[in-house]
Chain A
Amino acid sequence: MNKRFALKLIAACAIAASATAGFAQEVIKIANIVELSGGGASAGTNFKNGVELAVKEINAAGGILGKKIQTTTNDTQSNPGVAKGLTQKAIDNDVFAIFGPVFSGSIMVSMAESRRAEVPNFTGGEAAGITEQGNPYVFRTSFTQASAMPKVARYISEQAKLKTIAIIYVNNDFGKGGLDALKKALANSPTKVVAEVSTDSGQVDFSAAVLKAKQSNADGVFAYSNEEESARILRELKKQGWTKPIIGETTLTGQKVIELAGDAANGAIAHVGLTVDAPQPAIRAFRAKFEKEYKYVSDHNGMKGYSGIYILKAAIEKTGKLDRKAVAATLHTLKVKAADQPGVLMDVSFDAKGDLDRESFMIEVKNGKQEVVSILPALGAGAAPAAAAAKK
């Protein structure tokens, strides 16, 4: 008798589960699989907020092809094993596209699942390896380290003219990937790397790391870590009286970092793929909307999530139907102009691997605010970046 009851119960659950799948035609389901706890919480929360803001706007304006978007959010706890399970869950629920995870280690695992199910997957991860595996369903919302680091290296050796540099990096896949890419880009330049200081994700005390960088007598320091740790590095540099250039990439001058580091952030220079302080009207508008909605200033991850949804919208509209495969095909070699689709924030184009290309910025923190000091053209734009760097 127990057996029969259990079977009935299971059957009832199965029916209930399959019933929810029937709504797939009515709405466009999108799953946010992001880091809301653990080491990636700051990045994941921004990414998710960006996605939700864009979805709200699109739904208010009538949706995509007349269909509303519905999002669900799941926390990976910054754990790849959990991220993999959640991706399967999203696929079980028949989602149209997946946004996240933001951390490179997690996307490496989950994208195998989205590929198997042929679901477009937008990631905020920057490790070069993500798109190098020839997965036709993974798309970036930001630069790869492989394309960003040469821009930084060029700045370090040609504009800042540093002879030697110390690198403080976080020892995870993100930090190591960046370190390797930067060293490769600096290999043929006059700049020598005199110290490589490894730090941990979640590390609190950076006094030893900064001391090592100081003792290397380098002309400048390159700091490459996640948000909270970057802020601690900046504070420690100031505390120990560091006066030479502090250079970084994206995270070093993120809005959250500036808030956490306070005064210590002033003077830090970084290359960023996206910044809410860029002088483009679409980005200005985004900044205002985001701040109004969430009562704080978005960092680049918020822009990644926000523009990612609009890129998906542009791709669906170009395809003309809700077909995952066709949309993924459209996304490769897709070009979207900010003039036509303001939500993408900047003109953007995708290549055959799912990597994107667009303008980027060198910024400096002045009085607790990011200030764009130069705009670097898209890699595919043709113009020599050094010449265009003067454009302001």
Chain B
Amino acid sequence: MNAIFNNKFATLFTVLGALLVLVAPQYLKNYGIYLLTYWLIFIIATMGLNLTIGYAGQKSLGHAAFFGIGAYTVAIMMKAGISFWLGLPAAALLCFAIGLILGFPALRVQTIYLAFATLGFNTAVWLVMRNEEWLTGGTFGINNIARPVIFGYSLEANRPYYYFVLAVTLVLAGLLWGLLRSPWGKAFKALRDNPIRAESLGVDIRNYTLLSFAIGAVYAGVAGALFASLVQFIEPAPFAVGASIMMYLMVVVGGAGYFLGPVIGAAVGVVLPEWLRDVPGVANWYLPLFGAAVVLLMIWLPDGLLSIPDRIKAKRAARAASAARTAAASRIGASS
């Protein structure tokens, strides 16, 4: 019965979600569309981080660095006159390579120490972005980044660009879905749950650790490339350590290790603060309120918002078990 309930819930959820992302933009003005696009981009970025953190169990606080590398790669290449369609794969490839390299410390250190190592990496990348003015424009940033043209059709306006980002999000989500259901996905989860046991079963820990960083980085890189084109201006600030922590927060709030976690997490991180702005009475307090909401969430739902159905299920199972126990006890009592 639980399975049926869950299926119905999942179908409803999917239909409503599809309606929201496909139809809603027709009725929204520029700001709404911009915000939705921002949300999609953070879904892509946090999908990658969810793979690294939620599925492979590696603590990474350097995700914004890949986000930035992707953004700067596309921006710099487009300024040099190279097409967005070459810049995007280049950004993905570069992030894959750097992600592999960043994976190496993860072979030596784990948990909080790994988080510090990746944090250091993020700071180093940020310093390069800020100080290598000849390449990155330094603190002046790179302005007037164009939006791509697809088959002669310009994505310059907000709505076409939104649908483009939506398409990319769906393709990447599909790829991740496939990956997680493949033997690779099982290997990632085995790595998270118990690395020693995984190795004893023939999972090459080293390769999968490196891959979990590299694939996660590719998602961040693609998201960064889309971000540069969305805002059309980049500077080092959005790629600093604070942004990495924010992305980590999105993954955890949504539910690390849940496939749809990033969708919810990015909504909490991107859309919720913007929505709170417009709620009468809290407009001046929207940031403290947001902070308080996150604290409360973490206290009540340390496994994220998507753990709610599982919790309900667990509670129901517990109740059923306890009822069965009572019944059994009374039966035994009656018989004796």
Contacts and interface: CB of A to CB of B under 8 A. Distances in A.
Interface stretch (B26-34, B111-119, B209-217, B254-262): B26-34
Contacts of A112: 144, 232
Interface of B: 12, 15-16, 19-20, 23-24, 27, 29-32, 34-35, 38, 130, 138-141, 143-144, 158, 227, 230-233, 235, 237-238, 274, 277, 283, 286-287
A175 B140 CA distance: 10
Nearest to B12: A2
Contacts of B230: 81
A79 interface: yes
Interface in A56-112: 73-75, 77-81, 84-86, 88-89, 91-92, 105, 108-109, 112
A6 B19 contact: yes
A79 B141 CA distance: 13
A87 to B, nearest CB: 9
A207 interface: no
B29 A173 contact: no
A173 B24 contact: no
Contacts of A105: 139-141, 233, 235, 237
Contacts of A84: 34, 231-233
A80 B93 CA distance: 27
A14 B27 contact: yes
Given A2-B12, A88-B158, 18 more contacts: A3-B19, A37-B287, A75-B286, A77-B287, A79-B238, A80-B141, A80-B235, A84-B232, A88-B30, A88-B34, A91-B31, A92-B29, A109-B143, A109-B233, A171-B139, A176-B138, A176-B139, A177-B140
Contacts of A92: 29-32
Interface residues of A, number: 36
A177 B24 CA distance: 42
A176 B12 CA distance: 53
A328 to B, nearest CB: 20
Q: Nearest 10 CB-CB pairs, A to B?
A: A89-B31, A92-B29, A88-B30, A109-B233, A14-B27, A88-B31, A172-B139, A81-B231, A173-B139, A85-B34
A13 interface: yes
Question: What is the predominant secondary structure among interface residues of chain B facing chain A?
Answer: helix
B38 A109 contact: no
A11 interface: yes
Interface in A354-385: none
B206 to A, nearest CB: 37
A126 to B, nearest CB: 13
A199 B34 CA distance: 34
A13 B27 contact: yes
A78 to B, nearest CB: 8
Given A92-B29, A105-B235, A108-B233, A6 B140 contact: no
